[in-house]
Chain A
Amino acid sequence: MGDLPPYPERPPQQPPDRRTSQASQRQYSWDQVQPLAADPEEGQQIAPDAQRNAPGWSQRGSLSQQESLLMPRAFQAEEARIGSMEYPSMNTGFPLEFQPQPYSDESRIQAAEVTTSLMQRLQQGQSSLFQQLDSTFPEPPVNPLDPFNLYQTDQFSEGAQHGPYIRDDPALQFSPSELGFPHYSAEVPEPEPLELAVQNAKAYLLQTSISCDLSLYEHLVNLLTKILNQRPEDPLSVLESLNRTTQWEWFHPKLDTLRDDPEMQPTYEMAEKQKALFTRSGGGAEGEQEMEEEVGETPVPNIMETAFYFEQAGVGLSSDESFRIFLAMKQLAEQQPIHTCRFWGKILGMNRSYLVAEVEFREGEEEAEEEEVEEMTEGGEVMEAHGEEEGEEDEEKTVDIIPKPVWKPPPVIPKEESRSGANKYLYFVCNEPGLPWTRLPHVTPAQIVNARKIKKFFTGYLDAPVVSYPPFPGNEANYLRAQIARISAATQVSPLGFYQFSEEEGDEEEEGGAGRDSYEENPDFEGIPVLELVDSMANWVHHTQHILPQGRCTWVNPLQKTEEEEDLGEEEEKADEGPEEVEQEVGPPLLTPLSEDAEIMHLAPWTTRLSCSLCPQYSVAVVRSNLWPGAYAYASGKKFENIYIGWGHKYSPENFNPALPAPIQQEYPSGPEIMEMSDPTVEEEQALKAAQEQALGATEEEEEGEEEEEGEETDD
């Protein structure tokens, strides 16, 4: 408080004892506050302390109204001393002779007088006041107080008038002659009610808000300090935004130096994982040797090039995402023994999405997975044996022979071998580049058949159950794999001539008429002009095998008994095989052109485009599937590629019709062997029991009768 402007008049004499006694009680909070009056930047530190003081202020505020009539002078004088520098000077012009007058009458005068006095002091101490404003010490600068004084109609609950108020115009503050209070300037205002009003106003402002510890006073101080520090242009128009920013900053402290922001934790973790992608394996210390090794062939294809071409078509992920995928696949190639791999695409899910990589292992690397699968199937057979044993137990209990069920489960169609048919490639999935890759199991024909009947969104978690009717045999990983198989079979296309059949194929008869199932790259492929590729669908061919309705690519007769089935057949009664003769299913052979694809309800199954109509000489031919929305293929010169980005479902113009539940099974026909009768009711049973007892009683009497007769005879 050393920079107070010297005022000519000193505070009038007051009863010192009362002042000091009260002062001592209330001095404490201000003493705590004063040492903290430091630079403006420490505003936030001061504020918590000011919060502690604010209740004090508000208490004082409430006290002031009650005590005002009792000891106005002492209170105000002490406030004046403890408070800001204006207060002592406020007493200057007001002689002590004024009696405390009833509050309500003088409130109007007080307000005006406060204003007047403040105006005068402003004229005198203009510069010092501005210095004051720069500090965040909660001394009330004149500016926020002034408008408040002018508009405090509700504060005085007695409903007093406050007289004409000055407009809130900064320019007016410097010329009290324009104030327009001529009739008040002649009177000598009373100090105590005036100061009382100011104290009340300030106390009200310092009330803390209900929901937080901030008071309007502190907020306004912060806001104005900010404005004066930053000096934005046209501050009135940005006032609201500054208001919000100040509020936001109050409640959201800047980053702590010691603790991380808890909300951003998962983001930072992901960033760390992705950073790991960017580090080269083996460290960089080996230098030139590593460079030579890496320049050699890597199984990971040039994903960036593919992404570039697809971008020309308007398809695909952004380039940095593609690069991350490339690094993730490189990581996969280092972890697994991979011969070739390809980025198959992205399947969107509800909670997470899947990035799918199509991979072919080196020879002889996949046997571990197959053994696990065989164990599972053996477990299934054991369950069937248990069913038969229970049937035998029942036989012992009842006299009737329970007829053996005639129904046999339909034979399980064996899944295709690895590296053939639908299981030609292995698929790895991950949710985001940087996360570990998970291998998907091979697909079984039953899964494909069921996948055709249901339509479900993927959740993003591989172990989620697939709840559907007909019940899907597997969890989401199996469903995902089945959909990938279907999509691959339907939409993997290449320009005509890129692949050709190798000439060393065996006769078609040996393979059961299923057609060739392998192909190789044509070294003489010259590339088809882009315009021709776009014009006719005959220039594109499928290079994956079509999946038969059975669920496999090569047909297998399910009625052929394998060795295991023959063993079981000896135990069971040989049931009739039924009149079914399974016909061999045939699908379109490999390398069929797309023009032969079936239409979807008068809709062409494929749409072709040139990527850029403005420069056809450099554009790329793009083919889009209408049957599987999201499947795209491009071809340009000798290069081509397929990709799928979508939800993983087929398009059907009709709505999805779920499979109906199976028809109700037939009951046993009533015949001589089995006749259906209703159970006897309770009355009938009791009647029967009574009749039986009577009959029994009758026979006993007869026996007794005979015994008695015999007894009598013997007695005689």
Chain B
Amino acid sequence: MDADSLLLSLELASGSGQGLSPDRRASLLTSLMLVKRDYRYDRVLFWGRILGLVADYYIAQGLSEDQLAPRKTLYSLNCTEWSLLPPATEEMVAQLSVVKGRFMGDPSYEYEHTELQKVNEGEKVFEEEIVIDKAVAIIPRGALFKTPFGPTHVNRTFEGLSLSEAKKLSSYFHFREPVELKNKTLLEKADLDPSLDFMDSLEHDIPKGSWSIQMERGNALVVLRSLLWPGLTFYHAPRTKHYGYIYVGTGEKNMDLPFML
């Protein structure tokens, strides 16, 4: 969610039960503003909170002018001081997928695995966040548009999805470089608007049914929750330009999803 509209966003995303306490909110408002100034980001998003055993990680992302460029990830333990997460090397990426379990809450904690070397928790947090972000960060259709010169911009005239569109999964896109777009048939591509439909939509996510879409607040808010990564909540108030997503969870994938559907 955008740091500029943090309070409203937290209010709208509260349907999942997890939010932030008032002291955290207050410190976030000030610290994210300073982060934006110091790192010269165009937009700062509060990504969410990863629950650990001892402490929680608060994650924020900084975006540059081009919305689809790789985002910088920052973490904090107390919502006041933010530091860049060190990117993980490729060998670490492979190893990290093996290490399971909850996060401790201490970035210097080393996981021990019998076969592999010790894995730093800081890198694990980073990698986990990247994985989750790639999998389930969402944007409604029309919120970003692509110019012919390349960069993607925020659409200032985005007035929100209509109610009928808001209930369809095809109106939401993954907020990342498209992966499946090239695989579409020419017939499908003919119907797309290249300035708006340049990302993968949620319709074809596997497994099917991994998104729960419902209306809350008396049909005035549409909430998408990921069943594959429980804790990811996306909200959008139809016909307004308020939308955003937040992840509050343990950072673990729900591998039992096919049994649960």
Contact = CB atoms under 8 A, between A and B. Distances in A.
Interface of A: 240-241, 244-245, 248, 263-264, 266-267, 269-271, 273-274, 311-318, 321, 346, 348-353, 432, 434, 455-457, 460, 601, 603-604, 607, 611-615, 624, 626, 629-630, 645-647, 649, 653, 655-656, 658
A612 B21 contact: yes
Contacts of B259: 455-456, 656, 658
Interface in B122-146: none
B212 A350 contact: yes
B23 interface: yes
A633 to B, nearest CB: 14
B53 A603 contact: yes
Nearest to B105: A607
A460 B214 contact: yes
B162 A351 contact: no
B260 A317 contact: no
Contacts of B214: 349-353, 460
A350 B20 contact: no
Contacts of B164: 263
A366 B246 CA distance: 43
A321 B217 contact: yes
Given A263-B163, A626-B102, A655-B256, A321 B156 contact: no
B225 interface: yes
B194 interface: no
Contact of B21 (A245, A311, A318, A646): A311
Contacts of B24: 314
Nearest to B249: A629
A241 B101 CA distance: 49
B5 interface: no
User: What band does the interface of chain B fall in when counting residues whose beta carbon is under 8 Å from A?
Assistant: 35 or more
Contacts of B218: 267, 270-271, 273-274, 432, 434
A532 B102 CA distance: 25
A316 B15 CA distance: 8
A348 B18 CA distance: 12
A603 B219 contact: no
B107 to A, nearest CB: 17
A264 to B, nearest CB: 7
Contacts of A248: 159
Interface in B189-237: 209, 212, 214-220, 225, 227, 230
Contacts of A611: 21
A604 B100 CA distance: 16
28 contacts: A241-B156, A266-B219, A267-B218, A267-B220, A270-B219, A271-B218, A311-B19, A314-B18, A314-B20, A315-B19, A317-B15, A318-B15, A321-B15, A349-B214, A351-B214, A353-B15, A432-B216, A432-B218, A455-B256, A455-B260, A456-B259, A456-B260, A457-B261, A460-B214, A612-B23, A615-B23, A626-B102, A645-B17
A266 B217 CA distance: 12
Given A629-B250, A630-B17, A603 B157 contact: no
Nearest 7 pairs of A and B residues by beta carbon? A645-B17, A270-B218, A656-B256, A267-B219, A318-B14, A314-B21, A241-B157
Contacts of B179: none
Contacts of B227: 350, 457
Contacts of B53: 603-604, 607, 626
B148 to A, nearest CB: 13
A267 B163 CA distance: 10
Q: Dominant SS at the A interface?
A: loop
Given A311-B19, A314-B18, A317-B14, A348 B225 contact: yes
Contacts of A630: 17
Given A629-B249, A655-B256, 17 more contacts: A244-B157, A267-B218, A269-B219, A271-B220, A317-B15, A318-B11, A348-B17, A348-B225, A349-B214, A350-B227, A457-B212, A460-B214, A603-B101, A629-B230, A629-B250, A630-B17, A656-B255
B163 A314 contact: no
B114 to A, nearest CB: 14
Contact of A245 (B11, B157, B219): B157
B22 interface: yes
Contacts of B261: 456-457
A321 B53 CA distance: 29
A496 to B, nearest CB: 23
A649 B101 CA distance: 17
A245 B159 CA distance: 10
Contacts of B215: 266
A426 to B, nearest CB: 23
Nearest to B145: A240
Interface of B: 11, 14-24, 51, 53-54, 78, 100-102, 156-157, 159, 162-164, 209, 212, 214-220, 225, 227, 230, 249-250, 255-256, 259-261
B55 to A, nearest CB: 9
Contacts of A245: 157
A264 B102 contact: no
Given A317-B17, A321-B14, A612-B21, A349 B212 contact: yes
A263 B162 contact: yes
A377 to B, nearest CB: 30
Contacts of A318: 11, 14-15, 19
A441 B261 CA distance: 24
Contacts of B162: 263
A555 to B, nearest CB: 31
B78 A613 contact: yes
Nearest to A346: B17
B22 A312 contact: yes
Nearest to B230: A647
Contacts of A350: 209, 212, 214, 227
Contacts of B216: 353, 432
A457 to B, nearest CB: 5
A270 B217 CA distance: 9
A266 B163 CA distance: 10
A612 B51 CA distance: 16
Contact of A457 (B16, B100, B219, B260): B260
A607 B250 CA distance: 13
Contact of A313 (B21, B157, B219, B260): B21
A312 B21 contact: yes
B137 to A, nearest CB: 20
B150 to A, nearest CB: 18
Contacts of B159: 248
A658 B258 CA distance: 11
Task: Point out which of B17, B102, B216, B217 has the most chain A C-beta atoms below 10 A from its C-beta.
Answer: B17
Task: Point out which of B14, B54, B100, B261 has the most chain A C-beta atoms below 10 A from its C-beta.
Answer: B14
A715 to B, nearest CB: 92
Contacts of B102: 603, 626
A615 B258 CA distance: 45
Given A348-B16, A603-B53, A614 B23 contact: yes
B17 A264 contact: no
A603 B100 CA distance: 12
Contacts of A614: 23
A271 B218 CA distance: 6
B18 A315 contact: yes
Contacts of B19: 311, 314-316, 318
A645 B255 contact: no
Given A350-B227, A604-B53, A264 B163 contact: yes
Task: Point out which of A266, A316, A350 has the most chain B C-beta atoms below 10 A from its C-beta.
Answer: A350
Contacts of B78: 613
Contacts of A603: 53, 101-102
A326 to B, nearest CB: 16
B256 A653 contact: no
A26 to B, nearest CB: 39
Contacts of A352: 214
Contacts of B209: 350
A607 B102 CA distance: 12
Contacts of A314: 18-21, 24
A471 to B, nearest CB: 14
Contacts of A655: 255-256
